[in-house]
């Protein structure tokens, strides 16, 4: 690559040496992918923003452990999925402690405002698909997100998840079948 656009390895090395602009460039280069991955994994746009931030904070703290021979994209995707799993565990604990308060009480707080019918239907369908993806078991959801949303290769997805390429292929097939089944119901 040219000096104007250094590769991730160079940026990581410079960031580790204290160059904040280099880390900023890494964040800018990968933030949309990290957000999409988090959004797909948990199904909540606001929480996905928080997870994106947490992922980059964790990546910066662990930058010395980044192996420059591997793609930064794969490394940050693994951190992001771990942050999503942490979020899911925390959510389970929060649900346990807030179960006494009916969720219907929260409906009066949000003001969704009036939208055109088509936009509402479209938004509902997107929400339904996001909910269906979030309902998949983690091993299937992660593969689906990495391969379809992030368009990672089978080898890259296998690297992120620490499984074989064949396992990625099998899980992707199962994820698509399960998603079709959920959306059909």
3-state secondary structure the chain: CCCCCCCHHHHHHHHHCCCHHHHHHHHHHHHHHHHHHHHHHHCCHHHHHHHHHHHHHHHHHCHHHCCCCCCHHHHHHHHHHHHHHHHHHHHHHHHHHHCCCCCHHHHCCCCCCCCCHHHHHHHHHHHHHHHHHHHCCHHHHHHHHHHHHCCCCHHHHHHHHCCCHHHHHHHHHHHHHHHHHHHHC
Indicate whether 91 and 154 sit together in one domain.
no
Residues 174/182, Cβ–Cβ less than 8 Å: no
Same domain, 150 and 131: yes
Mean pLDDT of the chain: 83
- Cα-Cα-Cα-Cα torsion 68, 73, 173, 144, nearest 10 degrees, comes to 150
In the predicted model, what is the mean pLDDT of residues 145-159?
Answer: 89
On the question of pLDDT at 47 being above 70, the answer is: yes
- Say yes or no: 10 and 85 in one domain: yes
The reply to whether 89 and 141 lie within a common domain is no
- Point out the domain boundary residue: 64, 90, 110: 110
Residues 92 and 150 in one domain: no
What was the pLDDT predicted at 3? 42
Lowest mean pLDDT among 19-33, 91-105, 145-159, 168-182: 91-105
Question: Are residue 10 and residue 63 in the same domain, yes or no?
Answer: yes
pLDDT over threshold 50, residue 20: yes
The pTM of this model reads 0.62
Q: For residue 33, what are the domain limits?
A: 1-110
Boundary residue ending a domain (91, 110, 129): 110
Torsion sign (Cα): 155, 174, 43, 117: positive
Q: Say if residue 43 is in the same domain as residue 79.
A: yes
What is the C-alpha separation between 47 and 148, in angstroms, rounded? 21
105 and 123 share one domain = no
Is the model's pLDDT at 69 over the cut of 50? yes
Is residue 18 pLDDT above 50, yes or no?
Answer: yes
Look at residue 2 in the predicted model and tell me its pLDDT.
36
- Total domain count for the chain? 2
Q: Is the pLDDT assigned to residue 107 strictly greater than 60?
A: no
% the chain with pLDDT above 70? 81
């Amino acid at each position: 690559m040219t000096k104007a656009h250094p590769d991730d390895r160079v940026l990581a090395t410079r960031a580790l040496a204290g160059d904040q602009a280099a880390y900023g460039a890494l964040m800018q280069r990968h933030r949309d992918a990290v957000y999409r991955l988090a959004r797909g994994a948990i199904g909540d746009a606001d929480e996905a923003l928080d997870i994106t931030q947490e992922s980059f904070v964790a990546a910066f703290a662990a930058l010395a452990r980044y192996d420059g021979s591997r793609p930064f994209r794969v490394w940050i995707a693994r951190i992001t999925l771990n942050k999503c799993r942490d979020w899911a565990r925390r959510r389970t604990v929060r649900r346990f402690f807030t179960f006494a308060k009916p969720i219907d009480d929260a409906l009066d707080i949000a003001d969704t405002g009036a939208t055109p019918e088509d936009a509402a239907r479209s938004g509902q369908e997107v929400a339904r698909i996001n909910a269906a993806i979030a309902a998949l078991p983690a091993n299937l959801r992660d593969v689906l997100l990495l391969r379809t949303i992030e368009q990672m290769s089978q080898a890259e997805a296998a690297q992120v998840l620490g499984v074989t390429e064949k396992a990625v292929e099998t899980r992707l097939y199962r994820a698509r079948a399960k998603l079709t089944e959920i959306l059909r119901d």
